[in-house]
Structure 1
Amino acid sequence: MFKPGKALLAVFAVAATVLTGCGDDAADNANELRLWHYEGPDSAMGKAWAAAIKEFEDTHPGVKVKFEEKGFEQIQKSAQMVLNSDEAPDIMEYNKGNATAGLLSKQGLLTDMSSEVASRGWDKLLSESLQTTCKYDERGVMGGDKWFGVPNYAEYTMVYYNKDLFAQHGVEVPTSFDSFVAAMDKFVAAGVTPLAMGGKEYPAQQLLYQLALSKADSKWVSNLQQYTGDVDFHDEAWTYGAQTFADWVSKGYVKKDSAGVDAESMGLAFMGGEFPMMVSGSWWYGRVQSTVKDFEWDSFLFPGSDLALGSSGNLWVVPTKSSKKDLAYDFIDITMKQANQNLLGNSGGIPVAADPAAITDPKSKTLIENYQTLADRDGLAFYPDWPVPGYYDVLVSATQKLINGTATPDEALDELAGPYEENLANVGG
């Protein structure tokens, strides 16, 4: 999955030393643990991991914490080069899926953590569905037998909505796909664009995939994501998704200039009260919760679909070049502890090992309950960019063309089919 486009990559340099009195900077650097993550400080994960860093410092005498800021897009494009150099961190948050963590595992850039996972009991805290994105085979395909990452949260996409704008325009909260479309028609009739959208980054491609998912099933997802069967980009699901996406643009549900809007601007527009709805992920939840003060808001599962984009959260991975693996595992362990999990849950995140009774915030309870609804019906369908390295950019291009009207739905689907089929031949799927 992809996180908000302008979320910051925080790179924490943690110096863990034994006090020998030598005062040698070189010795300090030799014991340094470098930790990267790209969550904003006001996100649920940012808050929980800040607390984890403090606990790490308290339990590891002599630790110093430093950080530098980088963009998510930058680390997406440079991870392979950085992890294959002396600049590699000792632990980092990284995107899960075949095209990212899977590719790095195949290239030998990530540590196989299988024995550590078993000895520390992390496997006991993660459901089978969440484990899928942690484990990869020799091809770098998820669902394999070796652990290359550990998530401490889960995520899914939903519809955020502005309750005040719904009330102002007399629009009922949708409970079905038809009522969802009717709600958008009512907003358009009142001169209001219903959906905040960012076509420059992940949001538009995720809506395209969600529309396709509404006509798909779990076998369709497995075929696409894990290469377990034939994939046809002109089947009923993909055709419906692309055609409906294009129709929504032409009907005014999505602004035609949104092709140049990034994810951060989309989120800011929704949080600023400019749009009634935003279809996006739980990674926004804590930020919306802490930012929106001028209107009432809530969320609901995408109507008319048993499937939604979702999975485990991004992974804690330990680069092969890390020389401080034990310290990295200690940090992961703290983020898996119940106290940190409870904090994450009450801050607008979806914990994997919290005490349900300890989640007291009402909106956080709704978030977690809706996630459980999806998980219980095997409704987590991963993300569209996962199957192919570099597919994110392909999807951005195709959906921008649908927004701009420079490609037909069939042409956009042809654009998706080529790289997928080429990659399938490479992985032996």
Structure 2
Amino acid sequence: MGTRKRTGLIAGLMVLPLALAACGGGDTAGTEEGSTEGQTLKLWHYEGEDSAMGIAWAEAIKVFEEETGATVEFEQKAFEQIQQTAGMVLSSDEGPDIMEYNKGNATAGLLSSQGLLTDLTDVAAERGWTETLPGSLQTTAMYDERGVMGSGAWFGVPNYGEFVTVYYNKDMFAAQGIEVPTTLAEMETAMDTFLAAGITPLGMAGAEYPAGQLWYQLVLAEADRDFVTAYQTYTEPVDFAADPLLQGAETFDAWVKAGYMAADAASIKAEDMGVAFINGTSPMIVSGSWWYGRFVADATDFEWGIFNFPGNTLNAGSSGNLWVVPENSANKELAYDFIDITMRPEIQALLGNNGGLPVAADPADITDPKSQELITAFNEVLDNDGLAFYPDWPVPGFYDVLVAGFQSLINQSQSPAEVLQEIGTAYDDGVANIG
């Protein structure tokens, strides 16, 4: 359940098995030549066109159509749209043949337990995916009959990694004489320096996931692996009135009171937070590696970089989101072929050189200096066995509960204890329903 030791990304994740490598070149994976001519594969994902995944998957679509003769009917969906409607859509005949979906108990796990996703266990073995992905990244691919990750059948396939880090504006740091912090106390001192200069130090989006992820990073500052395992997989009861959960909420509240984030942050969405960083108005944001390729492309008017959350051994992160094949998919073999193509070295290298974290690339093909910076930071987390998954994963509906709770903290309409009581009740009810 996420406790196995991770090796470095480049060193440990990038060797292709012969079965998968044989899919490269011009051969059509898993289909007889010409047998798929004229067929259509309906594909949904929510990655931006300029993101590393968006760039790599656009090329995978092109390769797929050239090799199979089939057509991809692609629809880009919003993350929130898929998050909120997937169960209803996949229960109908209106869904896609293959879809990107969020990993974790509350999302892919829930759909798998409802019989809405195809069991990929045999396909994963036949196609070599079980050999390509090490155990630490397979955690989010497998779910038991309750929908709890880490064991059971394969219901999804990740082809990239991700984690939460700190993006910072190097020019703004230099202008204030601030060094990259290595402890939480140093980060708070840096934010105090920005405040004294009339600059809000931390970009924040309370209307979506970033606020909950910041809270979780603060929780993880005092947590250990046993806590993560209990929180994510219910091995022990979790006390929301005690540390490290209480300490995380109280620190978040103190940062709000100090003015480290904007007063209107409760209504800001993640896209607005990202654009503010791109525009050079936020010295720092705490968010995921999925922004990296976007910032490489768009944040070109100043120097920027990343540093891992100071002082933390554990960090929010995991494999990337999953390719899932709905049980009602009309073209499952085509879906498997497409997944194979996204795992090829040339597609993985394209992902890696555009700011993504590939899981099956040739290390020699990762030549972009910014991409190497990201991979180095991710390796640091992996070497610490530091992937701690995400705060909204444990139970269905928890994402919305977290968003509402931390909007209340940003608005100062509730105390940390009151927010945690609501979050804890939703968590306990969800665990009880899972059984």
TM-score exceeds 0.5: yes
Q: Distance in 1 between matches of 2:189 and 2:34?
A: 67
CA distances 1:226-267 after superposition (whole Å, capped 9, x unpaired): 111121112211111000001001111111210000000000
In the alignment, does 2:387 pair up with 1:380? yes
In structure 1, the residue corresponding to 2:157 is in which secondary structure?
coil
Contact 2:202 2:261 in 1 (8 A): yes
Equivalent residue number for residue 42 of structure 2: 34
- Report deviation, 1:384: 0.7
Contact 2:51 2:291 in 1 (8 A): yes
Equivalent residue number for residue 13 of structure 1: none
In the alignment, does 2:338 pair up with 1:316? no
CA distances 1:62-119 after superposition (whole Å, capped 9, x unpaired): x334434432211211100110111021111000000000000000000010111111
Equivalent residue number for residue 109 of structure 1: 116
Q: Distance in 2 between matches of 1:35 and 1:296?
A: 36
Equivalent residue number for residue 46 of structure 1: 54
Equivalent residue number for residue 83 of structure 1: 90
Q: Distance in 2 between matches of 1:72 and 1:154?
A: 17
Taking CA–CA contacts closer than 8 Å with sequence separation of 6 or more, which of the two structures ends up with the larger relative contact order? 2
Contact 1:37 1:93 in 2 (8 A): yes
In the alignment, residue 332 of structure 2 is paired with which amino acid? K
Pick from 68, 75, 92: which aligns with 1:60? 68
Of the structure 1 ranges 68-77 and 31-40, higher mean CA displacement relative to structure 2 is found in 68-77
Q: Distance in 1 between matches of 2:303 and 2:54?
A: 24
Q: Distance in 1 between matches of 2:121 and 2:41?
A: 21
Pick from 410, 415, 422: which aligns with 2:429? 422
Identity %: 60
CA distances 1:343-366 after superposition (whole Å, capped 9, x unpaired): 110000000111112111111111
Length-normalised TM-score, structure 1: 0.92
Q: Distance in 2 between matches of 1:171 and 1:212?
A: 25
Contact 1:92 1:317 in 2 (8 A): yes
Contact 2:33 2:68 in 1 (8 A): no
In the alignment, does 2:81 pair up with 1:74? yes
Q: Distance in 1 between matches of 2:395 and 2:109?
A: 10
Q: Distance in 1 between matches of 2:368 and 2:76?
A: 30
Equivalent residue number for residue 241 of structure 1: 248
Kindly report structure 1 stretches of 4+ aligned residues shifted beyond 6 Å.
16-20
Q: Distance in 2 between matches of 1:407 and 1:156?
A: 29
In structure 1, the residue corresponding to 2:158 is in which secondary structure?
coil
In structure 1, the residue corresponding to 2:392 is in which secondary structure?
coil
The alignment of Structure 1 onto Structure 2 pairs a total of residues equal to: 404
In structure 1, the residue corresponding to 2:404 is in which secondary structure?
helix
Residues 163-312 of structure 1 aligned to structure 2 (within 5 Å): 163-312=170-319
Contact 2:142 2:149 in 1 (8 A): yes
In the alignment, residue 43 of structure 2 is paired with which amino acid? L
CA distances 1:177-228 after superposition (whole Å, capped 9, x unpaired): 2211111111111111110000000000110111001100111001010111
Q: Distance in 1 between matches of 2:383 and 2:282?
A: 31
Length-normalised TM-score, structure 2: 0.91
Of the structure 1 ranges 99-108 and 374-383, higher mean CA displacement relative to structure 2 is found in 374-383
CA RMSD of aligned residues (A): 1.6
Equivalent residue number for residue 160 of structure 1: 167
Q: Distance in 2 between matches of 1:371 and 1:172?
A: 21
- Report deviation, 1:54: 0.7
Equivalent residue number for residue 355 of structure 1: 362
CA distances 1:108-137 after superposition (whole Å, capped 9, x unpaired): 000010111111111111121111100000
* Structure-2 change in CA distance of 1:410 and 1:266 (3 Å): same
In structure 2, the residue corresponding to 1:387 is in which secondary structure?
coil
Q: Distance in 2 between matches of 1:349 and 1:159?
A: 16
In structure 2, the residue corresponding to 1:254 is in which secondary structure?
coil
Residues 79-158 of structure 1 aligned to structure 2 (within 5 Å): 79-158=86-165
Equivalent residue number for residue 409 of structure 2: 402
Contact 2:43 2:73 in 1 (8 A): no
Structure 1 unaligned regions, length at least 5: 1-15, 21-26
Equivalent residue number for residue 377 of structure 2: 370
In structure 1, the residue corresponding to 2:54 is in which secondary structure?
helix
In the alignment, residue 284 of structure 2 is paired with which amino acid? M
Q: Distance in 2 between matches of 1:387 and 1:42?
A: 31
- Report deviation, 1:141: 0.3
